[in-house]
A and B are shown apart, each in its own frame.
Chain A
Amino acid sequence: MEQKWVVFSLGTNTYGIDVQSVRSIERVQPVTRVPNAPAHVKGVINLRGVVTPVIDLRLRLGYEAIEPTDETRILIASLNQGDAGFIVDRANEVVESEDVRLEPIPESSRDMLSAHLTAIAKGEDKLFSLLDANALFEEQHAE
């Protein structure tokens, strides 16, 4: 079955998220901080009248925080628990499954981060990890 992923960057790494679960890609906008929320929860934004939580994906995946740039985007994903935004360094492109082949996550790199990854997509000049956004959220909720 054909699949498509929105591919984005965090630092030097690239990730893909199922295009079906991405509602929109937003530019950076004022975020209202939510006190006493987990550190990676940047806050909430007004997304066309709906109050939507925004997660700093850098912090969530254990990267260092950086100041937003012109390229910083918020991926709005529709998840089991409702919509949420993920702040990413850059949204690159949409890749179709026919352009890549999927490989399992190498045993050696199984760490905290890879628990949210489902596969590695490789193609000509393409290499990115497939991210399971729902898993990111659910595990967080269980913590």
Chain B
Amino acid sequence: MDVNEYLGLFLDESQEHIQSVNTQLLKLEQTGSQDAIQEIFRSAHTLKGMSATMGYESVANLTHEMESALDLVRAGKKESNQLLLDTMFSAMEQIEEMIANIETGGRGANVDVAATVSAFQSFIGSTPKAAPTVETNVFTADLYTDSVITQAKETGFEAFQLHVKLSDAVVLKAARAYMVFDRLQELGEVVRTLPETEAIEQEQFDLSFDVLFVSQETADVIEHAVSQVSEVECVHVTVYTSASSEPEVAVSVETGAVAEPKPKVEADEPKEQAVAQAKTIRVNLERIDRLMNLFEEFIIDRGRLERLADEVGQPELNETVEKIKRGTNELQSLVLTLRMMPIEQVFNRFPRMVRSVAKDIHKKVQLDITGAETELDRTVIDEIGDPLVHLIRNAIDHGIELPEVRVAAGKPEQGSLALRAYHGGNRVFIEIEDDGAGIHVDKVRSKALERGVITPEEATTMTDNEVAMLIFAPGFSTADVVTDLSGRGVGLDVVKNKIESLGGVVTLETVVGQGTKFQVSLPLTLSIISAMLVQAGEETYAIPLSSILETTLLDEADILTAHRERVFDFRGQLVPLVYLKEMFAIETETKTQFPVVVVRKGNKLVGVVVNDLIGQQEIVMKPLGTYLEGIPAISGATILGDGRVALIVDSNDLF
């Protein structure tokens, strides 16, 4: 089998199953739900099957152990306990690591699972393989055996399994075996033998055979009776447990489960998902990207066509172009939704994370997720996970107080953490709100002053939320601040940068003693944006409309100088000027009157001086590629209607 062909599918499905197991584990932990056990068992079983087929034995082995343990719980033979839950959680973490390793070309053998495996095995109650108990399972359960044993048990018999080994020197094997059976008949009834009785009579066995036996005697009595037969080297008696009774049989039941037609297991699973999701098909992301690329080129050509039609001015042509435009607009929104995925995928990993972080630091946290079905561009989905993890960790670590502190403050012992996602306009909002201690704004203010992040003047005029936002400033990520502000400074500037690189904005609201709310707003899609095209010299640049406040015309004479900086009066506010031609070293003459594009970043404004405004246009954002990464004030490129490339100005870098 060409495994590579299925690798993508395997990885995807593994993720889904891991996700599902994690979700169900939490449910199991909270409610002890029997359904959850079934679900986890199914997923573990499917994971095992898939990974064994793909030849990833480490994953298969671990899931096998987990499945065996679960089977006992499922069959009601053992109670699930915290230890088992913890073992399953860590097993899932390890499997996740192995899958990640496989994804990067490994064999998934990167994790040492010995501890987890033995934890499962001690739960199962079986010692590792090769130990005698494995022999317990020589008799695979079948209906006949089961019914005989059940009946026998009802009448006070116990089922035993005997492993009889004859001595090397035995001459008449069949005769000895017959004597063993004879003895056994005195004590109870032989149900089955392995090999079959006829084979034993015809000496078709090595030196040992197994007997399934029901009796009212104890194992010791049976063992003693059989060992009395001469030339029997040893006899090993164990209590036999059928599928419907006790633990040891787990492995044999498991073998039955493997034989169970796989499609059935698979069919069971989507049933529940089907309730939540509409019919879907899996499409390779590459195909969608190709479709997007082609469509983008089409949009560019449409722009060209529009311009030509304008020049020609022929009414019928204009009408047709207009129709094409409307059609493509619809197509555009449709194509863009192809890349949209529910944020569920990111949110799914949080319940487990919250659980483990809270547990580690002895806090009680209730996580409430709403809006997991909110859709976002796949690219954003891929990137937003880490920043959110960081914010959530922070909220648990430093927002929510220890249970005793909470009780002392008159709050419920269990802290609440809300994770919300929702659409608003052409943006998606994600909120992380805790009911913890809030941020001590005064401490932030004095720290910021001390560190020169703000001036004393600013310190008095800034609102509390503005001051609280300073925790995102790079200068705040130092250790002493961490302790002072209960750690809310740790690397938050990184979070902010990441979110901004996705075209997002992060804000926060905080009330001391009541909690903190972080809000992340993200663009719905990344690739097509509205932009103002501007010209400086021969060069054309695009400035994203989202950052433009307005455009205005300025006279040379209106330029003022403050602190050796060129500024101008914009509605009573002095706004610094940035010359695009200087910033980008463009050779062009200075005009006496020129357009200024006023861009904003937070509350700050900057006027960008350009030579000409070309106009507003929908542009398709294209990456500049790894090689040109990190060029200041350029965030990407776009292809204009005439086929030329124009660079997109990253106005965040102008401040």
Separation of A30 and B644 alpha carbons in the complex (Å): 7
Q: Report the nearest A residue to B623, measured CB to CB.
A: A51
Q: Does A92 contact B (CB under 8 A)?
A: no
The one of B585, B639, B647 in contact with A49, judged by C-beta atoms closer than 8 angstroms, is B639
Q: Does A37 contact B (CB under 8 A)?
A: yes
The distance from the CB of A95 to the nearest CB of chain B, in whole angstroms, is: 28
Q: Are the C-beta atoms of A32 and B643 separated by less than 8 Å?
A: no
The distance from the CB of A87 to the nearest CB of chain B, in whole angstroms, is: 15
Q: Does B572 contact A (CB under 8 A)?
A: no
A53-B627, A137-B627, A141-B627 known; A32+B645 contact, CB < 8 A: yes
Q: Report the nearest A residue to B293, measured CB to CB.
A: A49
Q: Are the C-beta atoms of B625 and A81 separated by less than 8 Å?
A: yes
Q: Report the nearest B residue to A137, measured CB to CB.
A: B627
Q: Are the C-beta atoms of A46 and B627 separated by less than 8 Å?
A: no
The distance from the CB of A9 to the nearest CB of chain B, in whole angstroms, is: 24
Q: Does A52 contact B (CB under 8 A)?
A: yes
Cβ–Cβ < 8 Å partners of A41 in chain B: 627-628
Cβ–Cβ < 8 Å partners of A49 in chain B: 293, 296-297, 300, 639
The one of B585, B625, B639 in contact with A53, judged by C-beta atoms closer than 8 angstroms, is B625
Q: Does A35 contact B (CB under 8 A)?
A: yes
- Which of B154-162, B178-186, B519-527, B630-638 binds A? B630-638
Cβ–Cβ < 8 Å partners of A43 in chain B: 645
Q: Are the C-beta atoms of B639 and A34 separated by less than 8 Å?
A: no
Q: Are the C-beta atoms of A32 and B637 separated by less than 8 Å?
A: yes
Q: Are the C-beta atoms of B628 and A53 separated by less than 8 Å?
A: yes
Q: Does A50 contact B (CB under 8 A)?
A: yes
Q: Are the C-beta atoms of B584 and A44 separated by less than 8 Å?
A: no
Cβ–Cβ < 8 Å partners of B627 in chain A: 41, 53, 81-82, 84, 137, 140-141
Q: Are the C-beta atoms of B637 and A51 separated by less than 8 Å?
A: yes
Q: Are the C-beta atoms of B628 and A50 separated by less than 8 Å?
A: no
Q: Are the C-beta atoms of B625 and A46 separated by less than 8 Å?
A: no
Q: Does B583 contact A (CB under 8 A)?
A: yes
Q: Does A126 contact B (CB under 8 A)?
A: no
Q: Report the nearest A residue to B634, measured CB to CB.
A: A34
Q: Does A36 contact B (CB under 8 A)?
A: yes
Q: Does B509 contact A (CB under 8 A)?
A: no
Separation of A107 and B627 alpha carbons in the complex (Å): 31
16-70 of chain A: CB within 8 A of chain B: 30, 32-37, 41, 43-46, 48-53
Cβ–Cβ < 8 Å partners of A84 in chain B: 625, 627
Separation of A32 and B637 alpha carbons in the complex (Å): 10
Separation of A27 and B622 alpha carbons in the complex (Å): 22
Q: Are the C-beta atoms of A51 and B625 separated by less than 8 Å?
A: yes
Q: Report the nearest B residue to A43, measured CB to CB.
A: B645
Separation of A83 and B297 alpha carbons in the complex (Å): 19
Q: From DSSP, what is the main secondary structure of chain B's interface residues?
A: mixed
Q: How large is the interface on A (under 10, 10 to 19, 20 to 34, 35 or more residues)?
A: 20 to 34
Q: Report the nearest A residue to B625, measured CB to CB.
A: A82
Cβ–Cβ < 8 Å partners of B628 in chain A: 34, 37, 41, 44, 53
A32-B647, A35-B584 known; A82+B631 contact, CB < 8 A: no
The distance from the CB of A116 to the nearest CB of chain B, in whole angstroms, is: 16
Cβ–Cβ < 8 Å partners of B647 in chain A: 32, 34-35, 44
Separation of A52 and B637 alpha carbons in the complex (Å): 10
Q: Does B407 contact A (CB under 8 A)?
A: no
The distance from the CB of B373 to the nearest CB of chain A, in whole angstroms, is: 33
Chain B window 569-597, contacts with chain A (Cβ cutoff 8 Å), 1 for yes, 0 for no: 00000000000000111100000000000
The one of B296, B586, B646 in contact with A32, judged by C-beta atoms closer than 8 angstroms, is B646
Q: Are the C-beta atoms of B632 and A36 separated by less than 8 Å?
A: yes
Q: Are the C-beta atoms of A35 and B644 separated by less than 8 Å?
A: no
Q: Are the C-beta atoms of A51 and B624 separated by less than 8 Å?
A: yes
Cβ–Cβ < 8 Å partners of A140 in chain B: 627
Separation of A34 and B628 alpha carbons in the complex (Å): 9
Q: Does B626 contact A (CB under 8 A)?
A: yes
Separation of A81 and B630 alpha carbons in the complex (Å): 14
Separation of A134 and B585 alpha carbons in the complex (Å): 30
Q: Are the C-beta atoms of A33 and B637 separated by less than 8 Å?
A: no
Cβ–Cβ < 8 Å partners of B623 in chain A: 51
Separation of A51 and B297 alpha carbons in the complex (Å): 12
From A32, A35, A43, residue with most partner B Cβ within 10 Å: A35
Cβ–Cβ < 8 Å partners of B646 in chain A: 32
Q: Report the nearest A residue to B639, measured CB to CB.
A: A46
Cβ–Cβ < 8 Å partners of A50 in chain B: 293, 622
The distance from the CB of A137 to the nearest CB of chain B, in whole angstroms, is: 6
Separation of A123 and B77 alpha carbons in the complex (Å): 79
Closest 3 CB pairs of A and B: A35-B584, A32-B645, A81-B626
Residue contacts A-B, CB under 8 angstroms, 11 given: A35-B633, A35-B647, A36-B584, A44-B628, A49-B300, A51-B624, A52-B625, A53-B628, A81-B625, A83-B625, A140-B627
Q: Which A positions have Cβ atoms within 8 angstroms of B? A: 30, 32-37, 41, 43-46, 48-53, 81-84, 137, 140-141
Given contacts A44-B645, A53-B627, 15 further A-B contacts (CB under 8 A): A32-B644, A32-B645, A34-B624, A35-B583, A36-B584, A36-B631, A44-B624, A48-B297, A50-B293, A51-B622, A51-B623, A51-B637, A51-B639, A84-B627, A137-B627
